Amino acid sequence: MTVGYEPWDTARGAEIIAEHAGLEGATLVILHALQEAFGYVPEPAIPMVAEALNLSRAEVHGVFTFYHDFRKQPAGRHVLKLCRAEACQAAGGDALAARAEAKLGVSLGHTTADERVTLEPIYCLGLCATAPSAMLDGRVVGRLDEARIDALVAEAQR
Partner 1 sequence: MTMRIFIPRDAGAVAVGADDVALAFEQAAAARGAPVEIVRTGSRGLYWLEPLVELATAQGRIGFGPVTPGDVPSLLDAMAGNGQHTLRLGVTDEIPWLKRQTRLTFARCGVIDPRSVDDYRAHGGYKGLERALTLTSDQILADVTTSGLRGRGGAGFPTGIKWKTVAQASADRKYIVCNADEGDSGTFADRMIMEGDPFVVIEGMTIAGITVGATKGYIYIRSEYPHAVEAMNAAIAAARRAGLLGKRIGGSAHEFDLEVRVGAGAYVCGEETSLLESLEGRRGIVRAKPPLPAHKGLFGRPSVINNVLSFAAIPFILDNGAKAYADFGMGRSRGTMPIQLAGNIRYGGLFETAFGVTLGELVDEIGGGTFTGREVRAVQVGGPLGAYFPRALFDTPFDYEAFAARDGLIGHGGIVVFDDTVDMVKQARFAMEFCAIESCGKCTPCRIGSTRGVETINKIINGERVAENLAVIEDLCNTMKFGSLCALGGFTPYPVMSALKHFREDFGPAPARLQAAE
The footprint of partner 1 on residues 6-45 (CB under 8 A) is: 24-29, 31-32
Burial class (CB in 10 A: 0-12, 13-18, 19+), 68: exposed
User: Closest distance between partner 1 and the C-beta of residue 108, in Å?
Assistant: 12
HEC string of 24-91 equals CCCHHHHHHHHHHHHCCCCCCHHHHHHHHHCCCHHHHHHHHHHCCCCCCCCCCCEEEEEECCHHHHHC
Task: Rank residues 7 and 73 by Cβ distance to partner 1 and give the closer one.
Answer: 73
Q: What's the CA gap between 80 and 157, in Å, rounded?
A: 10
Considering the complex, what minimum distance in angstroms separates the CB of residue 152 from partner 1?
Answer: 12
Minimum separation from the CB atom of position 113 to partner 1 (A): 25
Q: Pattern 87-126, binding to partner 1, x per CB under 8 A?
A: xxxxxx-----------------------------xxxxx
* Under 8 Å between Cβ of 17 and 52: yes
Options 45, 131, 149, 156; binder of partner 1; rule CB under 8 A: 131
Interface residues toward partner 1, by CB under 8 A: 24-29, 31-32, 53, 59, 62-63, 66-70, 85-92, 122-131, 133, 138, 140-143
